[in-house]
Structure 1
Amino acid sequence: MFKLDAAEYMMSICGDSGLRDISSPGKSGSIFFLSQDDRFVIKTLKKYELKVMLNMLPKYYHHVGSYENTLITKFFGLHRITLRGGKKVRFVVMGNMFCTELHIHRRYDLKGSSQGRYTKEEKINSNTTLKDLDLKYEFHMDKKLRESLFKQISLDCMFLESQHIIDYSLLLGLHFRAPENLKALVEPPRLMQPQFSLPSEDDPHKQGEQLIIPKGLLLVAHEPSFVNTAPGPHIRGNTLRAYSIGDKEVDLLLPGTARLRVQLGVNMPAQATRKVQEDKVEESEVELFEVYDVVLYMGIIDILQEYTVKKKLEHACKSLQYDPMTISVVKPKTYAERFISFMEKKVFPEPETP
């Protein structure tokens, strides 16, 4: 179903090169490994996770077969080995959502809850997976691409809700592109036009691609590393179709990165905006933002936690201390609705109409 060659699969996880252990931001206690070719993530499972997965498997198989662009993590193998001494270890093999030659500059694990969803500053480094309250960016993308994204997120959350699953996350990776031409200060709202064009690299006087810019943006160039390498193999569905010319559809391609094919969750072009802190700028009539061209990679992970009696008790206890809507453990329907709302309003909001 995933067009995976069995021999390549075995070589990736059982070859002479071995596996690399990787850190996890979660509290499950599971151990994670990465195959040497970066294609697969191996995660050890607890007994209850194994039970949930086996019960879910028929419906999961139907869902990923029906929606080949699903963002839900792809399971390729479920195995058990017996160690010397008789201890049994269960593990699942999943697709690596960051299997790309582009450097992932930022990683986020987003649930839509806020209680405890931050990372202590002293623990942050280049490899840290950040959380909801650490996210200072909004991401704006093509309207049709955004519609396709949220259609699939809704379908995936509907499936997870039907299986009584909670505590899942959107794993989001950012690659910052080189915005060589983003050096203009946009005029105040009363003077600005709805759109402006970037000059072409070949001819600075020639109009380039048009950008829809929210009110009062400060465009600042960062991450000056031009990237034009081809990506590693991605395991996803069909390439998205952006528009039509006559009777022929044209693939949506990511410009400036060696024609990387755009798929849901893979090679998605977007603009990341971040508000400039007020203490870092002089008083101004407009709000100032930094704007970055980015490539996004994403998928829904951690889908093996059911809303059990134990979780209901956890919800009841934490609700005595905190706002029930801010804690991670809530009913599956509430979890799905909050997850989608957070993505729509905070992570991938619609651009403001000028």
Structure 2
Amino acid sequence: MESRHGICEKVLSNGDTYFGKFEELLPHGMGKYTWLDGTIYEGGWEKGRTTGKAHISWLSGATYAGDVSGGFLHGSGTYTGIDGSVYNGSWRMNIQHGFGRKNYPNSNSYEGSWQEGVQEGFGRFTWDNGNSYVGNWKNGKMFRKGIMKWSNGDMYEGQWLDGLRHGHGCYRFKDGSYYVGTWTKGLKDGPGTFYPVDSKLSSLEHLTETSGSVNELNCFPSDPSHLPSSNINKSKKSSYKNAWFKWSLIFFLRHSEQISHRSSSVDRVWSLGDNEDNSLQNSFTECSCSPKGYSSMVYEREYVQGVLIAERTIHPAFKAPNSEKLHQKQQRKVSRSLSKTITKGDRSFYLMLNLQLGIRYTVGNITPVPKREVGSSDFGSEARIRMSFPRRGSEFTPPHYSVGFFWKDYRPMVFRNLREMFKIDASDYMVSLCGADGLKELSSPGKSGSIFYLSQDERFVLKTLRKDELKILLKMLPGYYNHVKAFENTLITKFFGLHRITLKGGSKVRFVVMGNMFCTELRIHRRYDLKGSSQGRSTNKCKIDQNTTMKDLDLSYVFLLEKSWHEALFRQIFLDCSFLESQHIIDYSLLLGLHFRAPEHLSPHIEPQDPASNISILPVDGGGSVLPSKGLRLVSHDPDIVTTMRGV
């Protein structure tokens, strides 16, 4: 070791060298460390650990300039990769985390939020061909709400999932025409409305253009405090506000009847392929009136897996008798059927937090217990978990931001075993119900007056119960448990947990957690509630929309199954009905969901492909079909299991 004006140089036994300041034989202050493999670090040290500002270069050619802490890239810095990519932004423990901008070697770029090394949060991605996306990301893919603009002038504003258009949205073509509808995995799927350039929507086009375009959006989340203040100015905030004002327009356009307060009339109806959906065509014709003296047209369309199977022409400005009242009634119906993510300020926010805290506590404590067969005591009144959740926390519970409450979990070991029978992983269960994304609130689809919640992944439904309903469920639980254990293919509702929250003042809220049978890989185009009777079992054709659950007399299909499958299905229905009869339950029905396949001789209309990485859409030539050429696709009661069977 040599000393030069307080600066020392040391060669280590492994061949590494250090040149800089020392304190108690450890590098401390500014110094340069060169590893034997050629890596060079120049920057600050604190008692032998890298910290402060630094410049690092690797033999491969990669470099980093910025903050380091405790031996990690941590803080703000710029990394240049060996492929020529450049990332400038926040780091956490050697991983891109926070706000940052990355320029890729192929001239693509991303600016926005990162989490654990991938795009997550709000951000803008620009491709080298001129395409751009602004919106939310999750796990490196476009997610939830976002705006995609293609270089040819087309633009899509709406919902995304795994990098593909999925859910409700509005697609604007470069000529100014619009399509408002739903997509599934990048393809149009379900009902929608097309507005040509000369339709009534032309005035709305002007509204969206004046409210801000994709090019005007800046990559900032809804809460600007999450970003450095130096990156935010009034013009960007204003642009961001204006751009997201368009979202109110998109969801205003979510259903075609919301475009005008005047009713629509049918001019003509046509269909493509082997479309057997007579109820759809009947609903078109039975609600029709003959327009007079109005030439502007819009088109209501029905797609299946990207293939147009039906279309009707309507006059959006024709006023039919009592159309104002009819439209207002339809709007109320639509608004009630939609789910809404529970956020702070909503009436259910603190109740949701309490529910999540309780479920997390119960599942976290019951899962490590060795699995065993349940006995009679597990169904008794003493089989419960009770815990107080004070706001400041306790020896057994964490502090929280909700109101203090008492938690009660009924028959924990029984429901733990039931979840395992239904192949529900405990960690997945907690992530779905207790994740940071929260729950969604639904309006009651029935007449019970219950409140319904839905997990963000839509796998689980939570329903409030009256005290008498809870007692009935507890009474039938032993028989239900044995039935599920004996018949794994039961069609009876899956129950995963039974809970009670007691708030200060004594008010009690009881919940049951159930499986959502309509959470499947395929889009459910029609839903039916079948009771096996005809009295009052039909739906007003004028009130049918994509969210309507129809009844017995609305079902006009015949399902052909091979003999063994037919026998197995009806045997299971018989066994399930016998169980319900043994429990003295007579008010029940069979829920049926249908997914329509596109006609084989037709191909999806080609639009600009969603630029999702590692995800491909269905081929346009119909090759590699997801389903066999003939048959009925049956979706099991387990959302994660789909069985394809060959029909007759």
Using structure 1 for the length normalisation, give the TM-score: 0.52
Tell me how far apart the structure 2 counterparts of residues 108 and 147 of structure 1 sit (CA, whole Å). Answer: 22
Matched ranges for 1:280-291 at <5 A: none
Task: Summarize the Cα distance change of 1:123–1:50 in structure 2 as closer, same or farther, 3 Å threshold.
Answer: same
Matched residue of 1:173: which SS?
strand
| Equivalent of residue 90 in structure 1, options 489, 495, 510 | 510
Contact 1:109-1:131 at 8 Å conserved across structures: yes
Task: Summarize the Cα distance change of 1:23–1:106 in structure 2 as closer, same or farther, 3 Å threshold.
Answer: farther
Task: Specify the code of the residue in structure 2 equivalent to 1:49.
Answer: E
User: Residue 17 of structure 1 aligns with which residue?
Assistant: 437
Matched ranges for 1:267-282 at <5 A: 267=642
| Equivalent of residue 41 in structure 1, options 439, 451, 461 | 461
Contact 1:108-1:135 at 8 Å conserved across structures: yes
Task: Summarize the Cα distance change of 1:225–1:81 in structure 2 as closer, same or farther, 3 Å threshold.
Answer: farther
Query: Does 2:519 match 1:146?
Result: no
User: Residue 2 of structure 1 aligns with which residue?
Assistant: 422
Matched residue of 1:118: which SS?
coil
Task: Summarize the Cα distance change of 1:18–1:162 in structure 2 as closer, same or farther, 3 Å threshold.
Answer: same
Tell me how far apart the structure 2 counterparts of residues 149 and 117 of structure 1 sit (CA, whole Å). Answer: 23
Query: Does 2:535 match 1:115?
Result: yes
Mark the runs of 5 or more structure 2 residues left unpaired by the alignment. 1-420, 603-619
Contact 1:77-1:94 at 8 Å conserved across structures: yes
Deviation, 1:83, is 4.1
C-alpha offsets along residues 257-289 of structure 1, whole Å, 9 cap, x if unaligned? Answer: 9xx886578756689xxxxxxxxxxxxxxxxxx
What number of residue pairs does the alignment pair up?
A: 207
Matched ranges for 1:163-182 at <5 A: 163-181=583-601
Query: Does 2:582 match 1:162?
Result: yes
Matched residue of 2:559: which SS?
strand
User: Residue 124 of structure 1 aligns with which residue?
Assistant: 544
User: Residue 255 of structure 1 aligns with which residue?
Assistant: 628
Task: Specify the code of the residue in structure 2 equivalent to 1:255.
Answer: P
Task: Summarize the Cα distance change of 1:111–1:270 in structure 2 as closer, same or farther, 3 Å threshold.
Answer: farther
User: Residue 494 of structure 2 aligns with which residue?
Assistant: 74
Query: Does 2:483 match 1:56?
Result: no
Task: Summarize the Cα distance change of 1:155–1:62 in structure 2 as closer, same or farther, 3 Å threshold.
Answer: same
Matched ranges for 1:206-217 at <5 A: none
C-alpha offsets along residues 24-68 of structure 1, whole Å, 9 cap, x if unaligned? Answer: 442222222221112111111112211110000011000000100
Matched residue of 1:20: which SS?
strand
Mark the runs of 5 or more structure 1 residues left unpaired by the alignment. 183-223, 231-253, 272-292, 294-350
Tell me how far apart the structure 1 counterparts of residues 591 and 554 of structure 2 sit (CA, whole Å). Answer: 14
Task: Specify the code of the residue in structure 1 equivalent to 2:574.
Answer: S
Contact 2:529-2:591 at 8 Å conserved across structures: yes
Task: Specify the code of the residue in structure 1 equivalent to 2:462.
Answer: I
The root-mean-square deviation of aligned C-alpha atoms, in Å, is: 3.3
Deviation, 1:227, is 11
Matched residue of 1:37: which SS?
coil
Contact 1:109-1:170 at 8 Å conserved across structures: yes
Contact 2:496-2:514 at 8 Å conserved across structures: yes
Tell me how far apart the structure 2 counterparts of residues 228 and 42 of structure 1 sit (CA, whole Å). Answer: 38
Deviation, 1:112, is 1.0
Contact 1:142-1:270 at 8 Å conserved across structures: no
Tell me how far apart the structure 1 counterparts of residues 636 and 575 of structure 2 sit (CA, whole Å). Answer: 16
Deviation, 1:71, is 0.6
Task: Summarize the Cα distance change of 1:127–1:172 in structure 2 as closer, same or farther, 3 Å threshold.
Answer: same
C-alpha offsets along residues 184-205 of structure 1, whole Å, 9 cap, x if unaligned? Answer: xxxxxxxxxxxxxxxxxxxxxx
Contact 2:531-2:590 at 8 Å conserved across structures: yes
Task: Specify the code of the residue in structure 1 equivalent to 2:589.
Answer: S
Deviation, 1:70, is 0.5
Deviation, 1:229, is 9.4
Matched residue of 2:477: which SS?
helix
C-alpha offsets along residues 219-257 of structure 1, whole Å, 9 cap, x if unaligned? Answer: xxxxx9979798xxxxxxxxxxxxxxxxxxxxxxx5379
Task: Summarize the Cα distance change of 1:268–1:83 in structure 2 as closer, same or farther, 3 Å threshold.
Answer: same
Contact 1:45-1:92 at 8 Å conserved across structures: yes
User: Residue 244 of structure 2 aligns with which residue?
Assistant: none
Task: Summarize the Cα distance change of 1:115–1:25 in structure 2 as closer, same or farther, 3 Å threshold.
Answer: farther
Task: Specify the code of the residue in structure 1 equivalent to 2:513.
Answer: V
C-alpha offsets along residues 310-351 of structure 1, whole Å, 9 cap, x if unaligned? Answer: xxxxxxxxxxxxxxxxxxxxxxxxxxxxxxxxxxxxxxxxx9
Task: Specify the code of the residue in structure 1 equivalent to 2:529.
Answer: D
Relative contact order, higher structure (CA 8 A, sep 6+) = 1
Task: Summarize the Cα distance change of 1:106–1:226 in structure 2 as closer, same or farther, 3 Å threshold.
Answer: farther
Structure ranking higher in strand proportion: 2
Tell me how far apart the structure 1 counterparts of residues 443 and 598 of structure 2 sit (CA, whole Å). Answer: 29
Task: Specify the code of the residue in structure 2 equivalent to 1:37.
Answer: D
Matched residue of 1:140: which SS?
coil
Task: Summarize the Cα distance change of 1:134–1:2 in structure 2 as closer, same or farther, 3 Å threshold.
Answer: same
Tell me how far apart the structure 2 counterparts of residues 176 and 21 of structure 1 sit (CA, whole Å). Answer: 28
Contact 1:178-1:227 at 8 Å conserved across structures: no
Task: Summarize the Cα distance change of 1:228–1:107 in structure 2 as closer, same or farther, 3 Å threshold.
Answer: farther
User: Residue 346 of structure 2 aligns with which residue?
Assistant: none
Task: Specify the code of the residue in structure 1 equivalent to 2:516.
Answer: N
Query: Does 2:526 match 1:106?
Result: yes
Tell me how far apart the structure 2 counterparts of residues 262 and 225 of structure 1 sit (CA, whole Å). Answer: 26
C-alpha offsets along residues 69-125 of structure 1, whole Å, 9 cap, x if unaligned? Answer: 111111001111234654211111111112213110000111112222222233321
Task: Specify the code of the residue in structure 2 equivalent to 1:101.
Answer: E
Tell me how far apart the structure 2 counterparts of residues 91 and 68 of structure 1 sit (CA, whole Å). Answer: 25
Matched ranges for 1:290-305 at <5 A: none
Matched residue of 1:27: which SS?
coil
Matched ranges for 1:290-329 at <5 A: none
Task: Summarize the Cα distance change of 1:116–1:225 in structure 2 as closer, same or farther, 3 Å threshold.
Answer: farther
User: Residue 133 of structure 1 aligns with which residue?
Assistant: 553
Contact 2:634-2:644 at 8 Å conserved across structures: no
Task: Specify the code of the residue in structure 1 equivalent to 2:461.
Answer: V
Task: Summarize the Cα distance change of 1:256–1:10 in structure 2 as closer, same or farther, 3 Å threshold.
Answer: farther
Deviation, 1:22, is 3.0
Tell me which structure has the larger Cα radius of gyration.
2
Tell me how far apart the structure 2 counterparts of residues 142 and 14 of structure 1 sit (CA, whole Å). Answer: 42
